[in-house]
Structure 1
Amino acid sequence: MDLTTWLSLVAVCVMGAISPGPSLAVILRVSVSQSPLHGVLAAITHGLGIGFWAFLTLQGLAILMSKHQNIFSVLTVLGGLYLAWLGVKAWRFAGQGQDVKVEGQKSSYWESARDGMMISLMNPKAALFFLALFSQLIPTEINTLIKFQLWATVVVIDTGWYVIVALLLAGGRVLSWLRRHTVWVDRSMGSILILLGLKVVIGAFI
């Protein structure tokens, strides 16, 4: 793969990663309600989830999914329901993220990692995104090394962006303000997630 093609891939992936959406809302909520480290863990697992879709696409399974609309529809509905569930949880436990006890940190870290992973796995549009992207930029026949380079590029860009998002909240006036208003931040994020989830579910049937 030549440098021009790779740079084109990088540019598209960066734009895809930084575009606002459910993933950004989840990473922000985890970072604010728990800690920047929780947000980093969520960012890493989110990147691995996106890498999963990229891997499927490179192996040609995304093409199969695109031909069987029922598979895409089921995954879309599940993704929407998961978003709504995260939103409801944010409302139920609004403001309690800072009260997690030390002995509960391991479970909390796990939950943050799980949320980051699930929000990407429950997004089948990622597979179609990579299908469209790879089909335009990548030759039909590619070797294993190039596949790994493509996969690594996607994972590093996605993970890197959300790690930056989490760490930017690690200090300063922004985090201080968010922490002082954590109840309403949680409820606002929860409302956004619920609305996004409902939009995804309704859109799957329209």
Structure 2
Amino acid sequence: MEFLPIIAAILFVDFLALISPGPNFVLTSSAAVSKSRRHAVWTACGIAMGSLAWAGAAALGIASVFEALPMLGFVLKVLGIAYLIYLGIKLLRSKGFQPNANQTTDTTSGARGFWRGLLVNMTNPKSAAYYASVFAAFLTPDMPIWVLVLLVAAIAAMSLSWHVLIAISFSASRVQTRYMSVSKYVDQLCGGVLFFLGLRLAWDSR
């Protein structure tokens, strides 16, 4: 029980970071209102898988890996910035919600949503810095393995629950009906957020 305060502290910090709107929130909500609930839920699963990977890597000492291989961190940062800016530009050029184009029976929609969610999360350089710094701040070298496993599993479960909730909420029919009238502007707003985040990361990494 001596480790419960540490577990609670890390999960509380993660919860605060989770509910703060960012690329994952924008991606999930945009997928829910412009594509389908299924696509958005799979996107949420991809994001959760990314959180699982980052948390697991942090628990295994990702900070020391990046310190030993700085080029890997640089490449990841460049890829993350480029991908966020690309998604931002794509949404900024959106023509809005088009039912005939988006409401299809495409069986690969779920797979595309999953991989897109995973890619956005894994190529966000702030994810690496966040998980590495949080784990480094609270954990100690003598931490039992069960604590690390519990933390990683809990972080992934929180990420999945939150983003699935977003996917379901934003895919409600009444939300879609309202969205159709303002979809172009919502997409442009989401695109502007992603584009700004990409530029902000580029500026911070100078």
| TM norm structure 1 | 0.86
Q: Deviations over 1:33-63 (max 9, x none)?
A: 1123222111111011011111111111332
User: In 2, are the aligned partners of 1:47 and 1:158 still within 8 Å (CA)?
Assistant: yes
| Structure 1 residue aligned with 2:135 | 134
Describe the SS at the equivalent of 2:149: helix
* Structure 2 equivalent of residue 151 of structure 1: 152
146-155 vs 163-172, greater mean Cα deviation: 163-172
Correspondence for 1:72 = 73
2-side partners of 1:132 and 1:112: how far apart?
Answer: 29
Q: 1:40 maps to which residue? A: 41
Q: Residues 94 and 189 from structure 1, CA distance in 2 versus in 1: closer, same or farther, beyond 3 angstroms? A: farther
Q: Is residue 183 of structure 1 aligned with residue 184 of structure 2? A: yes
8 Å contact from structure 1 (residues 22, 193) kept in 2 = yes
Q: How many residues align?
A: 204
Name the residue aligned to 2:110: 109
Q: Flag the 1:66–1:83 CA change in 2: closer, same or farther, 3 A.
A: same
Q: Give per-residue Cα distances to partners, 1:63-115, cap 9 Å, x unaligned.
A: 22145444323211211110111123224443255323534x22332222122
How far did residue 132 of structure 1 move? 2.1
**Where does structure 2 lack aligned partners over 5 or more consecutive residues?**
none
The answer to whether the 8 A contact 1:34-1:97 is kept is: no
User: 1:123 deviation in Å?
Assistant: 1.7
For 2:164 and 2:8, locate their aligned partners in 1 and report how far apart those are by CA, in whole Å: 21
Contact 2:43 2:114 (8 Å CA) reproduced: yes
> Does the 8 Å CA contact 1:54/1:130 hold for their aligned counterparts?
yes
The letter for the 2-side match of 1:129 is Y
> For residues 88 and 136 of structure 1, what CA distance do their matches in structure 2 show?
36
Q: Matched residues in 2 for 1:96 and 1:173: separation?
A: 14
Task: List structure 1 segments (4+ residues) > 4 angstroms apart after TM superposition.
Answer: none
The Cα of 1:3 is off from its aligned counterpart by: 2.5
The one-letter code matched in structure 2 to 1:181 is V
The more displaced of 23-32 and 82-91 is: 82-91
**Alignment root-mean-square deviation, CA:** 2.2
Shift of 1:156: 0.8
The residue aligned with 2:32 is 31
What is the rounded CA distance, in whole Å, between the counterparts of 1:114 and 1:157 in structure 2? 19
The 8 Å contact of residues 43 and 118 in structure 2, kept in 1 or not, is answered as yes
User: How far apart, in 2, do the equivalents of 1:49 and 1:153 lie?
Assistant: 13
* Alpha-carbon distance, 1:122 to partner: 0.6
Asked whether the 8 Å contact 1:45–1:113 carries over to 2, the reply is: yes
TM-score with structure 2 setting the length: 0.86
Q: Deviations over 1:169-189 (max 9, x none)?
A: 132644431233222222222
Q: Do the aligned partners of 1:39 and 1:112 also contact (CA within 8 Å) in 2? A: yes
Do the aligned partners of residues 97 and 201 (structure 1) sit closer, same or farther apart at CA in structure 2, a change above 3 Å counting?
Answer: farther
In the aligned structure 2, how far is the partner of 1:133 from the partner of 1:191? Answer: 29
Q: 1:203, CA displacement in angstroms? A: 2.8
Where 2:90 maps in the other structure, the secondary structure is helix
